[in-house]
Structure formats: C-alpha cells, structure tokens
Chains A and B, each alone.
Chain A
Amino acid sequence: RKEVEQDPGPFNVPEGATVAFNCTYSNSASQSFFWYRQDCRKEPKLLMSVYSSGNEDGRFTAQLNRASQYISLLIRDSKLSDSATYLCVVNGAGRRALTFGSGTRLQVQP
C-alpha cells in the first residue's frame, strides 16, 4: 500500500465548477500536511498547508480528517489557470522527508 494515495484523475470540469480531491495517508503519526501544485513539466509549488481546523485561501479550502486519515482540497469557481496536477503531501513525525502522492490531474475546460 502506498503511503499517500490519490485518485490520478483526470478530472475534467467546466469553468466555474466546484471540484474536490481527496487523499488518504497510511502513517497515523503524520504531523504535517500540504497540497502542492505542479504545472506540466514544471516543479511542484506549495499551494497551501492543511491544518486540523481546516483552512481556506480564496477559492481553495483544505480539510484534514485525522481519524479517517484523509485530506481534501476543494476548489470553487474553477479557472482555466487551475489546470494542473495537485499533489497531496504528508510529513511524518520526526521524518525529514515529505512523502508525495502521485497527484491528481485537473483539466478545466472553457
């Protein structure tokens, strides 16, 4: 079983749609959680950290459910520029590495 699992997609949605991605992680001792965004043939960039209380940044909302060991990302009012791969990232307690999921590809269509 992979440490971090994501639905690879692709998710094809029209502009203006709301889309949600989920991610599950296997290490119950994980302490830090992130969503990174990766454009085609580019490097990953931090989209947002995920906090236990949930957090929002404009059109993006991240939630963490520790009991079920899953993380979600909600994108409202999708834009063409949101088209990218979204990587779920987990950092275990005391671990120096970030563990990345394989990513979920989003394609927003006009």
Chain B
Amino acid sequence: ETGVTQSPTHLIKTRGQQVTLRCSSQSGHNTVSWYQQALGQGPQFIFQYYREEENGRGNFPPRFSGLQFPNYSSELNVNALELDDSALYLCASRSNAGGTGELFFGEGSRLTVL
C-alpha cells in the first residue's frame, strides 16, 4: 500500500452538480497532485499543491479547484459537472515539489456523471 488514501471510492452525480473528492497523502509527503484518468487514457495532470498553495496546473478549466490543508491532505472540487468529467480521479503524493521522483498514487475516486 502506498499510504495515500482517497474518498469516496465511487460516486454518481448528475450534470450541473458539484463534487468534492478527498485525499490524505503519504506520511512525510508535503506535495499532492491530482490527475484525471478517462477510460482507456493515461492520467492527465490537473494541479499540484505544495505547502497549501497551488504551484502547477494543467489544462483544466477553473471549475476544477482544490485545497491543501496544513496536514498536507487535499481536496479536489469540481463545479458544474459535465458528462465528460466522468473519470477516475487520482491523488498522488511525493516528497518533493520539484517535479522529480516517484509519485505515490491512491486508489482513486471513480466519478460517474449522468
């Protein structure tokens, strides 16, 4: 086990709703990033948080937002859900924010938007 935990594991929402996904990083890791993985695709980078601040963002609209807390846990919020938001959302932690080194992934939250 990686020590990265995510909740909920599965959820179903309807278009226009909002969702919050949660992640607890591995002990000692101060950097958390979020990825979206659509079926049959590789994970796509959403954003990264380091010491409670966003320090990198991928090509996702502003309705994707996040937070990191003092204990380094994190939330991903998605507003105005669209059908294409249906995906596996993966949280990953690492021990440095510089972009190198291994990512440790949680098992993901599988979101279905109807």
Q: Which residues of A contact B (CB under 8 A)?
A: 4, 8, 31-32, 34, 42-46, 49, 87, 91-92, 94-103
Is B107 a contact partner of A42 (Cβ separation < 8 A)?
A: yes
Residues of A within 8 Å of B98, CB to CB, are: 96
Task: Count B-side interface residues using an 8 Å CB cutoff.
Answer: 24
Residues of B within 8 Å of A95, CB to CB, are: 56, 99
**In the complex, residue of chain A having the shortest beta-carbon distance to the beta carbon of B41:** A102
Q: Is B106 an interface residue (CB 8 A)?
A: yes
Is B58 a contact partner of A97 (Cβ separation < 8 A)?
A: yes
Residues of A within 8 Å of B45, CB to CB, are: 97-99
Q: Is B61 an interface residue (CB 8 A)?
A: no
**Interchain CA distance A98-B37 in the complex, whole Å:** 13
A32 CB, min distance to chain B CBs, angstroms: 5
Is A98 a contact partner of B41 (Cβ separation < 8 A)?
A: no
A sample of 5 inter-chain contacts (CB < 8 A) reads A8-B40, A42-B107, A43-B90, A97-B99, A102-B41
Residues of A within 8 Å of B100, CB to CB, are: 31-32, 91
Is B43 a contact partner of A100 (Cβ separation < 8 A)?
A: yes
Is B99 a contact partner of A44 (Cβ separation < 8 A)?
A: no
Number of inter-chain CB pairs below 8 Å? 57
Is A96 a contact partner of B99 (Cβ separation < 8 A)?
A: yes
Residues of A within 8 Å of B105, CB to CB, are: 43-45
A97 CB, min distance to chain B CBs, angstroms: 4
Report if A44-B107 is in contact (Cβ < 8 Å); known contacts: A94-B99, A96-B98, A97-B58: no
Residues of B within 8 Å of A92, CB to CB, are: 99
Residues of B within 8 Å of A97, CB to CB, are: 33, 45, 48, 56, 58, 99
**Interchain CA distance A75-B66 in the complex, whole Å:** 39
**Interchain CA distance A8-B41 in the complex, whole Å:** 9
* A45-B2, A97-B33 given; 19 more Cβ-contact pairs under 8 Å: A31-B100, A42-B107, A43-B90, A43-B106, A44-B103, A45-B105, A46-B103, A87-B42, A87-B43, A91-B100, A92-B99, A95-B56, A96-B48, A96-B56, A97-B45, A97-B48, A98-B103, A100-B44, A102-B40
